[in-house]
Structure 1
């Protein structure tokens, strides 16, 4: 059963709710935070609320890994250049790409956003392309001309594929208490296509780059823990199914449990990073040695940055860096209004998918092992309803399903990245909008939130901001 490993947590919370609701002002019992609840990343936690809050190394990784972390930080932030170049360790960009560096999408190790105007180059919103069907390993079939990802930049002698255009439809939603909220629903299209038309049955899946914190901890959560959250047939009849995605692991040539990416379509962090190098920067690796090259370009005649263009040592260095970025600790976690918001979060059954607490297991990096963490996710797929659907399957994920995103650090995105855009495509401009967009399995939780009064809604949102 999905909740067996945190039944005590829920029972304690329900007891607190009972105490809170039954006491009058004279004998009200103050709410109390869990011990070490502020340490969202266990011993990897840092307490910082600045614009650099996502960029610290985990304080427990040790001196040797600390040195590798700083080298990884350099590789993560460096701009790759066109080959051939005198800087041979960072040439090989393209021929088509979305960004010149990892930090181009994950600025300050944070969250990307959609273009602000027509023709603006990508700042972390990527459009995955596919046509119906599956490849030999269960992967999506790319568009035969434009490939698996639309790239709006190219090296000097190669035209970009075109420009991304995002238009929004305004939708007004009214709460039961009469309050209103305005949502924006995006539609994606392309301009100035350089390679001709796309397939008539093209599937477009928007994906915004997420904050980088705590990724190694999520990798260290045992498969058995995540599968314990799953209830694909909804055997407990709570309306929440929780479904694992099994995806292709290149290194082992096998299907493994997916846990990274908006559809949990990557099995481990190293493959996630190598796929980003290939798709976002056009940098080959031992995992993805083929150039991301359109059929109209003879890539054999173009200089490359080596075979592969990022060495295994450097790929491992970036992986360690990405694995050991510290998780920011909670703010105001023990204040009464925040704790009341936490109760409401639990009362609305948001914790059915955003599971608060789990423990990591074995990992090649000892600092990530046996940590009690508070990521607020189950890393499983859930049907989020038609309004959020991209209608694009991805391995076992269908067109309505998305992986539950971790909520840790969500309250610091604006401080780090200067915006508060949320969900898989950044359409929600606030936490409140993101909640109201929920559908499918989350419909009951959204309805509970909308039926709270304005004070209760504010408390719940302020709790989420504290994460």
Structure 2
């Protein structure tokens, strides 16, 4: 009941969590958006700062190793340096930072002629696999891999086209959104199943993950119960997903549909799916039966990354700092913060969460953080639906994206791609795509006058 009361109080709050941190040259323990992991930086490396003070001395070498593994470009084995070998047999990109430049998020291609550098396509067919997850497409598996190592064909190409979607705000301001359409070309193993389900997924930022992992499951479930009891049309749901190490269903909290239970499994899944690198978590290569060259090449080449290497990558991501808020005491920003709450945005984008005991990095325990997420699934309506279930997530549900660091996306990234497929080029576009449970909040924002809308966007830029 204590956690439930705290969650209900949080829903009623006006997101009054700014103005807590003056800019300094390093981490400020216990204050700011990321509490002990807050870093007061606003440059292109704002998402890449390790908070060494939060890392025990005996773990610092592992964090440094993990940083190197995340940043390195992987090569095809065999190699003179086996520590960086393992790419393929099919893959999308050869490095984590190829999609997550400077640990930031990706963006979709702007034209059909541009390759998908930081956007991938999930695949499945109706039904579930043996663990309740999506059932892979028979010829191409659960993700399209466009590249192949020598002797192994890439699976094909995904082509994205955009259609303009004009929207007029209540004060007459015109906005042109864009809607993606997906097509496949040069498929190496024949047509996909006629009932194939596809979902575009842009690379999300990679900082703050340790703090989100440290939020107790009971608190997340209490938020769902609080929303249900409030009866305001917002009713977040937890996802229950397969933990490959524990061998059981657990709470999901990472990924666009909260389909991964931990940072470690999220990293292992990305290594396997995006780069074809096997680990003790996912030791088998992604070679569907039709891809015989893939299977022949991959024989006896796994796992390619050891437990210690995977642990190092995980620890590095858990130790990344969260950028401090900026200009939080500016009247325009404070006005925007109040408008954000009044519109109902904080019902899902929960301003404050609390971490529990976190053994991986004990310094992250017992912190009050400001991620602006509830880590729950919400129905965002038909316009954003991909129609592809993922464990208990429906084709219309998406996990609430954290908003911390949002104002620095355009500083860190070459281009900004918000929402699961990157269709939104700025926060206002992202809001205007919201439907379903978020439709009332969207309409409240759409109805703002120019001055209030500028204040709201100034608040989002301060995060």
Does the TM-score normalized on the shorter chain lie above 0.5? yes
CA distance in 2, matches of 1:405, 1:397: 15
Change beyond 3 A, Cα 1:92–1:8:
closer
- Give the C-alpha shift of residue 328 in structure 1: 0.5
CA distance in 2, matches of 1:55, 1:357: 23
- Give the C-alpha shift of residue 350 in structure 1: 0.3
- Per the normalisation by structure 2, the TM-score is 0.93
Change beyond 3 A, Cα 1:95–1:10:
closer
CA distance in 2, matches of 1:131, 1:372: 41
String of CA shifts for 1:341-365, please: whole Å, max 9, x gaps.
0000010010000000011011121
- Provide the residue aligned with 2:377 in structure 1: 381
CA distance in 2, matches of 1:91, 1:115: 29
- Give the C-alpha shift of residue 34 in structure 1: 5.6
Q: Give the alignment partner of residue 320 of structure 2, picking from 322, 325, 340.
A: 325
Gap regions ≥5 residues in structure 1: 17-31
User: In 2, are the aligned partners of 1:99 and 1:122 still within 8 Å (CA)?
Assistant: no
String of CA shifts for 1:266-319, please: whole Å, max 9, x gaps.
011111110111000001111111111242324453266843100000000001
String of CA shifts for 1:160-214, please: whole Å, max 9, x gaps.
1111111111011111211111000001111111111000000001111111110
User: In 1, are the aligned partners of 2:20 and 2:32 still within 8 Å (CA)?
Assistant: no
Q: Give the alignment partner of residue 178 of structure 1, picking from 167, 172, 178.
A: 172
User: In 1, are the aligned partners of 2:49 and 2:320 still within 8 Å (CA)?
Assistant: yes
- Give the C-alpha shift of residue 420 in structure 1: 2.2
Gap regions ≥5 residues in structure 2: 23-30
SS in 2 for 1:108: helix
- Give the C-alpha shift of residue 85 in structure 1: 1.1
Does residue 130 of structure 2 align to residue 130 of structure 1? no
CA distance in 1, matches of 2:10, 2:69: 41
Change beyond 3 A, Cα 1:306–1:193:
closer
- Provide the residue aligned with 1:20 in structure 2: none
- Provide the residue aligned with 1:169 in structure 2: 163
- Give the C-alpha shift of residue 232 in structure 1: 9.3
User: In 1, are the aligned partners of 2:287 and 2:295 still within 8 Å (CA)?
Assistant: no
Segments of 4+ moved more than 6 angstroms: none
SS in 1 for 2:451: helix
CA distance in 1, matches of 2:68, 2:422: 27
Counting matched residue pairs gives 451
CA distance in 2, matches of 1:85, 1:429: 40
- Give the C-alpha shift of residue 105 in structure 1: 1.1
Q: Give the alignment partner of residue 43 of structure 2, picking from 50, 66, 71.
A: 50
CA distance in 1, matches of 2:275, 2:243: 21
Change beyond 3 A, Cα 1:10–1:195:
closer
User: RMSD across aligned C-alpha pairs, in angstroms?
Assistant: 2.0
Question: What aligned pairs does 1:192-207 form with structure 2 within 5 A after superposition?
Answer: 192-207=186-201
CA distance in 2, matches of 1:140, 1:11: 36
- Provide the residue aligned with 2:343 in structure 1: 348
Q: Give the alignment partner of residue 189 of structure 1, picking from 171, 183, 187.
A: 183
- Per the normalisation by structure 1, the TM-score is 0.92
